[in-house]
Chain A
Amino acid sequence: MSALLTANRSDYSQTMLPTTADGFADEAAWINRAQRSDTRAFESLYRLHVDKVYGLCLRMTGNVSEAEDCTQDAFIQAWNKLAKFRGDSAFATWLHRIAVNTVLGRMRSSKREQDRIQAVAETSAAPLATGDVGELRDLSEAVDKLPAGARHVFVLHAVYGYSHEEAGSMLGIAAGTSKAQLHRARRLLAQQLKQQGFEE
């Protein structure tokens, strides 16, 4: 998958703004220009971070269409809030927070919409294109079937490595609640994966 991502980035780089001499994208310069309403610079930031944001959205929603919408909404919100970004945290972390809020906001906004998404997810037998193979693919599919609260904590804590305090802050829950949700997620995953050899 990393080769695929590298290839994609290489293709994108032809339309992006110049990079620094050492080959790394000058993210700070792009942020600075995007804050002055330079959409080309913002597109470069999008190309640099879209996989991270989409990956998070896909893991959290478990639905391709919803993940695409969340990703777009997250970047639109990032554009609107860009003037407030002061660099106190990494830009990727800042984007992650926006993406998590976007996912949660969309989930809260419409129960009917959630019912529709759930119905689509249930009728769609095709697994998510996460790039995971073998046992990881089984785990990925099992994570998608977790209840939302447990899934969100598991994704942020176990997959992305955020602490319970950080995950709780992002999700608007206490660290203790995050721990409880993780325990619940592990128990449910263990039940699902028992036959594939994932035993605690």
Chain B
Amino acid sequence: MTEMNDDKLTVAAAKLGTEISPQRDLWPGIAEAIRMPRRVRRTSMFAQAAAIVLLVGASSGVTYIAVKGQQGPVTQLTPNLVFEQTAYASRYNPGPGFEEARDELAAQLDVELARLSPQTRADIAANRQVLREAILDIQNALENDPDNALLQARLVKAYREELSVLRRVGGLTRNVMMRNDI
């Protein structure tokens, strides 16, 4: 306040009362408000929890979008494209589109599997073996009943699942690699 020391206004302002008694006792209202223990703090915790949920949701969404966009050439091998070329009746093998896709994925798989733990590799091999056996069983059944639509559908489904497993393995190892890179 040194700027205004010689000023009558300043001197008068400094004399104004700084302590003024309220015309009524304000404590009862305060006491009632603080009787509820730490209400504001609890609200704050709810707000924090909501913020955490939003954060996790948003980060999951971003991760999903980012990973979804990094499927690489494997995602371009759509099952529809593959199985449109599948032949039935006298020949119970998939068409050339499927064979090409499976060969490409199998080649990638050998590279990708090397990055996985022995236990994971064993699990994947076991799953593929089950699928292969199922495909062989269905093919054998179709030998006896070439026009069985149900068996045909199951064969298509088994092929789809085999491709799906190959694709998931590729995605899994790519994610592992990305985390290591970070």
Q: A72-B33, A79-B34, A158-B4 are in contact. Are A55 and B9 (CB under 8 A)?
A: no
Q: A132 and B19: CB pair below 8 A?
A: no
Q: A42-B34, A80-B38 are in contact. Are A52 and B19 (CB under 8 A)?
A: yes
Q: Which residues of B lie under 8 Å from residue A59 when comparing CB positions?
A: 16
Interface 1/0s, chain A 112-137, versus B by CB < 8 A?
Answer: 00000000000000000111100110
Q: A68 and B26: CB pair below 8 A?
A: yes
Query: A105 near B: Cβ within 8 Å?
Result: no
| Chain A interface residue bracket vs B | 35 or more
- Which B10-31 residues have a C-beta within 8 angstroms of A? 10, 12-24, 26-27, 29-31
Q: A39-B34, A80-B38 are in contact. Are A186 and B9 (CB under 8 A)?
A: yes
Q: A50 and B18: CB pair below 8 A?
A: no
Chain B interface residue count, CB cutoff 8 Å, equals: 32
Main secondary structure of the interface of A (DSSP, over half): helix
Q: Which of A1-9, A21-29, A168-176 contacts B (4 or more CB under 8 A)?
A: A1-9
Q: Distance in Å from the Cβ of B93 to the closest Cβ of chain A? A: 74
Interface 1/0s, chain A 47-63, versus B by CB < 8 A?
Answer: 10011101110110000
Query: A85 near B: Cβ within 8 Å?
Result: no
The chain A residues found within 8 Å of chain B, CB to CB, are: 1, 4-5, 8, 37, 39, 42-43, 46-47, 50-52, 54-56, 58-59, 64, 67-68, 71-72, 75-77, 79-80, 129-132, 135-136, 139-140, 143, 154, 157-161, 186, 189-190, 193, 198-200
Q: A200 and B9: CB pair below 8 A?
A: yes
Bound complex: CA A55 to CA B16 (Å): 10
Q: B24 and A159: CB pair below 8 A?
A: no
- Which B74-93 residues have a C-beta within 8 angstroms of A? none
Q: Which residues of A lie under 8 Å from residue B15 when comparing CB positions?
A: 136
Q: A5-B21, A68-B22, A160-B18 are in contact. Are A136 and B1 (CB under 8 A)?
A: no
Q: Which residues of B lie under 8 Å from residue A190 when comparing CB positions?
A: 9
With both beta carbons as reference points, the residue of chain B lying nearest to A137 in the complex is identified as: B16
Kindly name the residue among B10, B17, B18, B29 whose own CB sees the greatest number of chain A CB atoms within 10 A. Answer: B17
Q: Which of B7, B21, B29 contacts A200 (CB 8 A)?
A: B7
Bound complex: CA A58 to CA B138 (Å): 89
Q: Which residues of B lie under 8 Å from residue A161 when comparing CB positions?
A: 1, 14
- A-B contacts, 22 of them at CB < 8 A, read A43-B31, A46-B30, A50-B27, A51-B19, A51-B21, A51-B22, A52-B19, A54-B20, A59-B16, A67-B22, A72-B29, A76-B30, A76-B34, A79-B30, A79-B34, A129-B20, A132-B17, A136-B15, A143-B16, A158-B14, A160-B18, A198-B8
Q: A43-B27, A51-B20, A68-B24 are in contact. Are A159 and B13 (CB under 8 A)?
A: yes
